[in-house]
Amino acid sequence: MRQTALCLGFGLLAGLNPASALADYVVIAASGAAGSYAAGTEIADDQQIDLPEGARLTLIERSGRMVALEGLYSGAVPTPDEAGDSDAPSTGWNALKRLVGSAEASSTVLGAARASAGDIPPPPGVWDLSTDSSGPRCIRTGELTLWRKQADETQTVSARSAAGRHDGIAWKEGENRLALPEEMAMEDGRMVVSVGGELRDFELSLMPQALAGAPAGQLLAWLAERDCRRQALALIARLHAGETVD
């Protein structure tokens, strides 16, 4: 029987009844033979969990604590040594539940777990902005990196936002990532990017300074709240694989 407790931050949900705050978990990722515990499954703190050899289950508690269980395992979720504070935005828990219960979450996390070095490039890292669609994206101050799945040709990139405009940037063949000038990642707001003539409209959210170096559970809550779904899923995939935030 093996169990690994990951203290990744507290406070995904504020304003809960203290008696119920530590009562529920939700599965954020499952692999191996853990099919009966699909992502999005809610588990009570006293519920019996049975995992066969090779199965892995990653859960998050309402408080933000994350727990990784590996089979063979039989028993309830391990009790934390001490409780944490509930001081994060109240929408974090529900946003995460909606995210991890989606079909997108299942395919992204399991795909990352099954990929090998000889397969297609891995899913985006936490701070890689996928250019396959428009939508919300989360960034860190002075760091804005585009990502593409296919890198079989050189493409011309332009980007414009309130911070300025940059044209004629070469995204070279064989490169899946492209770093944009750091001044493009200094504030929230809209950014329009053209990749090979295809436009992408991003709504950028700048990570609060308070989250710099914060536990991964707090970062995950913020990504979900800002609707940076791909990036939240990338973080879940890394944590489920036993890796750290990049």
The answer to whether 225 and 211 have CB atoms below 8 angstroms apart is: no
Alpha-carbon torsion 213, 216, 221, 222, what sign? positive
pLDDT of 238 > 70? The answer is: yes
- CATH fold of 141-206: Immunoglobulin-like (2.60.40)
Rounded distance between C-alpha atoms, residue 159 and residue 157, angstroms = 7
Whether residue 72 has a cis bond before it, omega within 30° of 0: yes
> What is the value of pTM for the model shown?
0.75
| Bridge partners, 130 (sequence order) | 147
- Res 3 pLDDT > 70: no
Going by pLDDT thresholds of 50, 70 and 90, the confidence category of residue 156 is: very high
The C-alpha atoms of residue 224 and residue 233 are separated, in whole angstroms, by: 9
Cα 126 to the center of its chain, rounded Å: 6
Beta strands, E only, the chain: 2-6, 24-31, 42-44, 49-51, 56-61, 66-70, 73-75, 128-130, 135-139, 145-147, 155-161, 164-171, 177-179, 189-195, 198-206
Place of tokens 């066969």: 52
Amino acid identity at 186: M
The pLDDT of residue 137 is above 90? yes
For range 105-113, the mean pLDDT: 50
| CA 196-201-207 angle, 5° bins | 115
* Tokens found for residue 31: 């692999």
191-219: pLDDT as tens digits: 999 999 999 999 999 999 988 877 777 78
Range of 11-20, 133-142, 236-245 with top mean pLDDT = 133-142
Q: Alpha-carbon distance 187 to 160, whole Å?
A: 13
217 backbone dihedrals φ, ψ, rounded to 5°: -60, -35
Q: What percent of the chain has pLDDT over 90?
A: 43
Mode of pairing for the β-strands spanning 135-139 and 155-161: unpaired
Order of all β-strands in the sheet with 42-44: 2-6, 66-70, 56-61, 24-31, 42-44
Is the model's pLDDT at 19 over the cut of 70? Answer: no
For residues 141 and 23, what is the distance between their CA atoms, to the nearest angstrom? 36
pLDDT of residue 212: 85
Domain ranges in the chain with CATH number 2.60.40: 141-206
The answer on pLDDT for 11 being more than 60 is no
The predicted pLDDT at position 12 comes to 40
